[in-house]
Amino acid sequence: MSAPVFQLENTSARYGKTEALRIDSLSLKPGRRYGIVGANGAGKTTLLYLLAGLRRPAEGSVLFEGKDLYGNAARLNAARRRVTCIFQIPVLFRGTVFSNIAYPLAVRGIPSAERARKVSRALELVELSGFEKRKSDSLSDGEKQKVMHARALVFDPDVLLVDEPVVNIDRAYRPVLMSILSGFAEKEGRLLVFTSHNASLVSRYADEVLALDSGRLVDSYPENIFMAEVVEAMEGKAAQLPGGFTVPLPVESTAGEKIKVVLSPEKIRIERTPETEKPSGTVWKIESAGSSIKLSIDVGVQLVVVLSADEYNSIKLLPGEKVSVTVPAEAVSME
Residue at 323: amino acid letter: V
pLDDT band, very low/low/confident/very high, at 335 (cuts 50, 70, 90): low
Position with higher pLDDT, 60 vs 88: 60
Which CATH number is associated with domain 6-218? 3.40.50.300
Chain centroid to CA 122: 22
List phi, psi (to 5°) of 40: -55, 135
pLDDT at 237 over 90: no
pLDDT at 290 over 80: no
Give 93-125 pLDDT, tens digit per residue.
999 999 999 999 999 999 999 999 999 999 999
Chain centroid to CA 43: 12
Give 314-332 pLDDT, tens digit per residue.
988 999 999 999 999 888 9
Q: Cα–Cα distance between 307 and 311 in angstroms, integer?
A: 6
The answer to whether 86 and 154 are in contact (CB under 8 A) is no
Q: Cα–Cα distance between 146 and 171 in angstroms, integer?
A: 13
DSSP character at residue 111: -
Give 126-162 pLDDT, tens digit per residue.
999 999 999 999 999 889 999 999 999 999 999 999 9
- Residue spans of the domains in the chain: they are 6-218, 224-262, 264-328
Residue at 3: amino acid letter: A
Mean pLDDT of the chain: 90
Which CATH number is associated with domain 264-328? 2.40.50.100
The per-residue pLDDT for 2 is: 79
User: What is the CB neighbour count within 10 angstroms for residue 62?
Assistant: 25
- Within the chain, strands assigned E span 6-15, 18-28, 32-37, 59-64, 67-68, 83-86, 159-162, 191-196, 208-213, 216-218, 225-233, 236-240, 246-248, 258-263, 269-272, 281-289, 292-298, 302-308, 322-326, 332-334
pLDDT at 277 over 70: yes
Give 44-58 pLDDT, tens digit per residue.
999 999 999 999 999
pLDDT at 1 over 70: no
Residue at 240: amino acid letter: Q
Helix axes 112-125, 141-153, angle to 10 degrees: 130
User: What is the CB neighbour count within 10 angstroms for residue 189?
Assistant: 10
pLDDT band, very low/low/confident/very high, at 83 (cuts 50, 70, 90): very high
Query: If phi over 0 gives left and psi between -120 and 50 gives alpha, with beta otherwise, what is residue 95?
Result: left
pLDDT band, very low/low/confident/very high, at 171 (cuts 50, 70, 90): confident
Helix axes 97-106, 141-153, angle to 10 degrees: 20
pLDDT at 220 over 70: no
The per-residue pLDDT for 232 is: 87
